[in-house]
Amino acid sequence: MRLWKRIAMRWFQFRDEVGGLIRGFQVLIVNLALIGKLRPVGLVPITVIVDSWREATILRLLWITQLLPRHKILVVRRACDLHLPIQSNFVGESLLIVTSRVFTKHYQLLASLRNQRRLVVL
Amino acid sequence: MKFIKQSARPNPKVSLILLDWSVRESFHLLHYLSKQDVDRELFEVIIIEYYSRVSDAIRPFKDQVDSWLLLEMPEDCYYHKHLMYNAGIVAAKGDICVICDSDAMVRPGFIRSIITEFENHPNTVLHIDQFRNARKDLYPFCYPDFSEVTSRGCINSVSGKTRGVVDDKALIHNRNYGACMCARRDDLIAIGGADEHIDYLGHICGPYDMTFRLVNSGHREIWHQTEFMYHTWHPGQDGEDNYLGPHDGRHMSTTALDALISGRTMPLEENESIKNLRLATDLAQGVEAFRIATPHFISWQNENIRKGKQWVSGNSSRKIWHGFVVDQTTDGFIAYPRFLEHPDFSMFQGQFHVYASTEVELHARLIDLFVCRWRLVFPVVTLLTYVSRALGLTSLYLQRRWGRLTHEVYT
């Protein structure tokens, strides 16, 4: 395969992958912002699960700039980062919010939480 | 539909369902099944051929085949593996159904491992991962030693196990969900069997559709840690030039992933025979009762696939758009943020509902109402994501180069 074709293929692959990441993250931001509007009404505490330090950092930046309300953030890059099945009282009573990408990545851990009705998959 | 052979085994525990759509060149799994360390009466082998070909590749192992069924689908219909899964489930007499590759090698304890696993963990869906070797000198299949398959040319061997079993970072893409899936027949019937939706037509399909729905219905997914399958290279193994349904860019069906995300347990299109078994309305057992829905003969036609009309029938009344659920009603379209579906937020139902007569209008309204205020933030997020991913990939590339230079194996 010619070099320019290989470069183009890699670029499209990179663009599609990053595009998917961005879309998923935008979904998370919009939904968190709308949940923020409901905060005064009084809800259970919320924990957001992301799978990269980048997303966690951006969420914290948005919190510092007061664009998003403050939530606890958990970074789960590998399944071993989180031992949900053995923690029945995981993060107390808080409601967990994950994007569908993170959910499918760690569904074996997170499916049990969904059965407890403590998980929102965006 | 025509039987070449019908099983005479009275009470097998395990039913192996092997598929062909007039493409398989080798069924060497049958050779390894003849060397199992359990009583042959404990398992049966069912071959399902999608078209009408009586494969020459099976003839050398004919004594190992218990049931051999030709579905006799018209030649102008594209293959749909899920239809074959359903035929296999209906034909199976065993308590445990095993859907696996027919051109893989297995060790003598393969069937015993499956039986033991289900005795220890009855409420599970079991998967067995596969070592894959990319050496082309092993084709045509020449019965290599197991150690030969896991050594030079093996692309996923890590410390004697498969990468998918060892690595816990990207499970869905590192594990081979199509290699071998085992579940109780009753459980498979209870979730409506395999989904015959057109999204699973062609190469983007697999038993993981049922795995995900079994997980949604409360079953535990287990990956065997010591038993594996062994696969050697053959042409066309990655589905080149095959029709591809919707997938995530790495050949994982997005329709199956959506089922997992939404918690759906039933298929989008259930096979009538499976439904009859599930509802116990049809007492006729056996594959003679297997029915293929007439519309499939039209919608799966090569001609219609080429026209690109398959996506029309794939449309549903409920869609997800940028984190909003879009429902089609008799008056038009209604959208609301996805988190409102959770019971904790049910009291806020209606607060964020947006109505429109057309889908395009609805999207425009959603952007104006909710997304617009983030107009300045999103480009910054996009830029940060691009930069960090580029840096991450560059670092990974440099690590690999360094590993090669220093003759280390990078995993």
Q: Where are the domains of chain B?
A: 2-289, 317-411
pLDDT the model gives residue B241: 65
Angle between helices B254-262 and B208-216 (to 10 degrees): 10
Q: How many CA atoms lie within 13 A of A60 on its CB side?
A: 12
Q: How would you classify the pairing of strands B333-337 and B324-328?
A: antiparallel
Residues facing residue B354 across a β-bridge: B335
8-state DSSP, A17: H
Residue B38: what pLDDT? Answer: 95
pLDDT in tens, A74-107: 888 877 776 654 455 665 667 888 888 888 888 8
- Asked if the C-beta of B343 comes within 8 angstroms of chain A's C-beta atoms, the answer is yes
Q: Give the three-state DSSP class for B189.
A: helix
Angle made by CA atoms B146, B147, B152, in degrees to the nearest 5: 120
Pairwise CB contact (< 8 Å): B172 & A104: yes
Asked whether B302 and B77 are in contact (CB, 8 A), the reply is yes
Q: Which of B263, B339, B378 lies closest to A114 in CB terms?
A: B263
* Omega of the bond leading into B379 within 30 degrees of 0 (cis): no
Instruction: Report which secondary-structure segment, H or E, holds B326.
Output: strand B324-328
The answer to whether B152 and B62 are in contact (CB under 8 A) is: no
Task: Determine, for residues A31 and B339 on separate chains, whether the beta-carbon distance falls below 8 Å.
Answer: yes
The answer regarding whether domain B2-289 maps to CATH 3.90.550.10 reads yes
Q: How far apart are CA B408 and CA B400, in angstroms?
A: 9
Residue type at position B318: R
Please tell me if residue B171 touches chain A, with a CB cutoff of 8 Å.
Answer: yes
Mean pLDDT of all residues in B69-79: 93
> What is the C-alpha separation between B374 and A36, in angstroms, rounded?
14
Higher pLDDT, residue B213 or A8: B213
Tell me the per-residue pLDDT of B9-63, one tens digit each, with 9 for 90 and over.
989 999 999 999 999 999 999 999 999 999 999 999 999 999 999 999 998 999 9
The gap between the terminal CA atoms of chain B, to the nearest Å, is 48
CB atoms within 10 A of CB B33: 22
Place B407 in a pLDDT band, splitting at 50, 70 and 90.
low
Q: Which of B213, B129, B141, B131 is nearest to B179 (CA)?
A: B129
Chain B 72-131, CB below 8 Å of chain A: which residues? none
Distances (CA, A) of B227 to B101, B108, B131, B147: 15, 10, 11, 14
Per the model's pLDDT, the better-predicted residue between B102 and A114 turns out to be B102
Beta strands in B50-104 (DSSP E): 67-70, 96-100
